[in-house]
Each structure stands twice: as C-alpha cells, then as structure tokens.
C-alpha cells in the first residue's frame, strides 16, 4: 500500500506559531488539543489549501452528501503510515458539521430563523497536515502520496521559515447581550417542562445566544481565549468571511482501528473562588442526583445511537459520572464505547448519531423538534462538530460547545443546558451564562 512521507520539524507544545504561517490561507484549519496547559489531548492537526471543498447541495440528503465524501476519500487514494508511527491522520477530510445538518439526516422542522448563513457542512480534502504528537514530543509534516513534490518542498520551506508577524488585535464594540430576555427564557423552560409532564420527552437541551459587534482578527481572539480556557477539543476554522473559534472540552465520536468512543458531558458547576469552595462545588456535582440522572439519560441515548452502527453486544459504558475540571467549570463526564460493525464506516456512524445526544435531549428527535420550536434562531456551528476522517476511515470529532462564530463584524456564542422535570429555571439560566462567561469576559477585556 502507498505510504505517507514525513518531514520532522522542531517540536512545539503550542501549535499556534505553526498555524500563524497559514492562518490567511484558503481552507486553513486547526484542531488543537490545548497543550501545554490542557493535558487530556495528544495530537494537534493543522492544514490548508485543500484540493477540494465540499458543502451539501440545496436539496441533498445528509446520506447522499456523506456518499460524496466517501467517494472523495476513495479518489484521493489509500495511504498508510510508516512503521512505528502512530499519527492519527494520513490525509483526508477536515472540517465542520453544523448542528442544523441534523435536519438532512432526519425529518425535522426548521422554523427557527437562519441569520448566520453558515454552510450546513464544510469539509476540505487535504493532502498534507502538520501533526504534533505531545506524547512522543514530535512535530511533523505528513504528506499523502498524492501531494505533489513541488507542494511538499513549498510547505517545508514555509514551516522552516521564521515566525510571521503577530496578528492584528481583536476588539468588541460593546458588551455581549442575550438574544432573549430572562422572562422569555423562563417561559421556554416552563413550556419544556409542560412537554415533559405530558410525556413528550424526558430532557431537552435549551440554549440562548449572546452577541456583540466586533472588529479585527478572529485569530487574535482565539489565542486570547486559548490562554484562559485551554481545552482538549479546541479548533479554529477560517471562513471566507470570518472564522469559527472553538474551545470545546467534549469529544463527540472517535473511531480508531474499529473501536468507537463517545464522551458525553452532562452536569456542570462553576469553579469556586478558592480551593475550599472549589472542592465543595466539585463534591456537590458528584453527589447531585439530578445531574447524575441527566447524565444517565444521555448515556442511554448514546448507547442506542452507537448500537445502530456497532456490532451487536459490543456497546459498553466503561466510565460513568467522572469529574473533569476546566478553568471556569466542573463537568460530569461518562464514556460509551463499541466495536464498529463490519459493514459500517465512519459516515454510517455519523449518520446514526449526529447531532450528539448530550446537546439535544431525550428522546432525540422529539427534543430536536422542541428545540426548533422554542429557540428563535438556528444554532449554526453551536452543538455541531469539528472533525476529521482520513483515508483509512479513522475519525475524531468534537461537540462544538464553548464555540464562537465571528463574521459580518459580529461575534456570537451560545450557552445552554439540559432541562428536566425538576429543573429550576433561574439556576438553569445562570448555568447557561456560567458556561460561556470566561469566553465573554475575556473578549470584553481585550
């Protein structure tokens, strides 16, 4: 089988100096594990100048779009890694799925207003990547066999050159404001709880959006946010007229050598102001019957989603109700695994599971119908995914929470949470702010 070529570069724990060389390039994308501060991620992947860019056609179903992506990987051609190499990507697709792409996979209403006009999905086909392995402390250019020698030489020169000048600053022209009032939020929670009492659903993830006007370079915003909120599933996606800035702590789906893993987050507490209060917040989260019940609902939903694509009897829950702590919040995290069925691939797995159950509710389809009814605008990238799928069929993906969209001189971010029968609307309102407060405060302080 054809083999990828590697070119060693000096190891960097922080990928941002590498990415600054290509941040203005067509199709520039960074998948960032948040090192050296965040410790759960192993790899950073960055690339640019895709050989093709894919977006769904106007009336194209999600499964038909996925078939086009399968064909693109087939056309790029197979490639394996050199011996004793453990890199996660051998060339292939990198990009995004918006939350609203879910309506191309299931029959769902779309009444919410679309005022961001982000493509439902956007994935580039990349013949090269710069990949940093923090476990082995290596940074390497990886070239798929299809990458032309002249392009390889150009990229080597580019990344061996001196670091470019710093990016222009990013500024807000006012504070973030919510799209809906506290009273409108309360009425939506009451409506969700009426649906729960009527037996329509068990849990609905309800979200509010915050916006501010802005100017400057979104890359400077990303670097500032990365400093204060490093996370293992962060990313930056350059758009033609803006950027996606993501500081996500949550894995959606990983597929590695036929093994599937998803790590849903459900359950949140703000960090304390000192060591003692912080420990009390963590203990309260771990002991919360409500948060554990919400988490378990989503674990059951994801077991069902994975069961669509995994070998019968292989779905397991090796971790339940673990504590993960980030600069602004504590989270309750579980892990669901399975073995991919022999006749399924990464696209089947996505088709059976997207969007992630941790950000919809249960049952998923009814929860998504209620979300569309009650949230005034489409979620866009929020609760979608940043992901890669390589020519071997390997995949990793995030849930795009703690994620901002910068375009048309406006920055948008979203915060939400799972609503159940005994939710207190005021506590849920505050939690939706707590989850993104560090992002908003940081940008307001630039």
Which residues belong to the active site?
A: 250, 266
Tell me the sheet residues that pair with 132.
44, 139
- Report whether the peptide linkage leading into residue 355 is cis, meaning its omega lies within 30 degrees of zero: yes
- Residue 409, both tokens: 């001189």
DSSP letters, 315-339, are: -EEEEEEEEEE-SSEEEEEEEEEEE
Helices (H), 198-251: 218-228
Tell me the sheet residues that pair with 268.
331
Contact assessment for residue 392 and residue 226, using Cβ atoms and an 8 Å cutoff: no
- Residue 82, both tokens: 């050199």
CA 432 to chain centre: 18
- 130, 135, 136, 137 alpha-carbon torsion, rounded to 10°: 60
Q: Is 333 left (phi over 0), alpha (psi -120 to 50) or beta?
A: beta
Residue 98: DSSP 8-state: -
Cα–Cα distance, 341 to 328 (Å, whole number): 39
Cα–Cα distance, 118 to 115 (Å, whole number): 9
- For 242, phi then psi, to 5°, come to 160, -145
């Amino acid at each position: 089988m054809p083999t990828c070529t590697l070119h060693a570069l000096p190891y960097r724990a922080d990928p941002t100096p590498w990415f600054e060389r290509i941040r203005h390039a067509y199709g520039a994308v960074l998948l960032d594990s948040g090192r050296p501060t965040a410790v759960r991620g192993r790899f950073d992947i960055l690339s640019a100048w895709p050989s093709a860019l894919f977006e769904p056609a106007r009336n194209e179903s999600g499964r038909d779009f996925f078939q086009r992506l399968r064909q693109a990987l087939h056309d790029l051609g197979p490639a394996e890694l050199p011996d004793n190499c453990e890199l996660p990507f051998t060339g292939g697709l990198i990009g995004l799925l918006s939350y609203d792409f879910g309506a191309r996979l299931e029959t769902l209403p779309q009444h919410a207003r679309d005022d961001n006009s982000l493509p439902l999905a956007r994935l580039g086909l990349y013949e090269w990547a710069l990949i940093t392995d923090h476990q082995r402390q290596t940074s390497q250019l990886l070239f798929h066999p299809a990458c032309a020698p002249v392009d390889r030489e150009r990229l080597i020169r580019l990344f061996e050159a001196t670091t470019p000048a710093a990016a222009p600053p990013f500024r807000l022209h006012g504070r973030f404001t919510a799209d809906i009032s506290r009273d409108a939020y309360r009425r939506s929670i009451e409506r969700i709880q009426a649906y729960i009492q009527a037996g329509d659903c068990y849990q609905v993830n309800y979200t509010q959006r915050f916006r501010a006007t802005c100017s400057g370079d979104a890359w400077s915003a990303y670097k500032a946010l990365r400093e204060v909120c490093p996370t293992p599933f962060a990313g930056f996606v350059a758009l033609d007229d803006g950027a996606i800035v993501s500081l996500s702590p949550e894995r959606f789906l990983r597929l590695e050598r036929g093994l599937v893993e998803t790590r849903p987050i459900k359950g949140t507490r703000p960090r304390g102001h000192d060591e003692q209060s912080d420990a009390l917040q963590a203990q309260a989260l771990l002991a919360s019957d409500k948060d554990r019940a919400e988490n378990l609902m989503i674990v059951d939903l994801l077991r069902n989603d994975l069961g669509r694509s995994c070998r019968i009897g292989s779905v397991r829950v090796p971790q339940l109700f673990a504590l993960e702590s980030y600069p602004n919040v504590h989270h309750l995290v579980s892990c669901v695994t399975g073995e991919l069925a022999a006749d399924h691939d990464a696209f089947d797995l996505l088709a059976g599971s997207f969007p992630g159950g941790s950000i919809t509710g249960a049952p998923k389809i009814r929860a998504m119908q209620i979300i569309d009814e009650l949230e005034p605008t489409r979620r866009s990238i929020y609760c979608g995914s940043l992901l890669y799928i390589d020519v071997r069929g390997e995949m990793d993906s995030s849930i795009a929470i703690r994620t901002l969209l910068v375009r048309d001189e406006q920055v948008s971010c979203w915060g939400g949470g799972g609503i159940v029968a005994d939710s207190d609307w005021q506590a849920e309102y505050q939690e939706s702010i707590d989850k993104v407060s560090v992002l908003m405060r940081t940008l307001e302080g630039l």
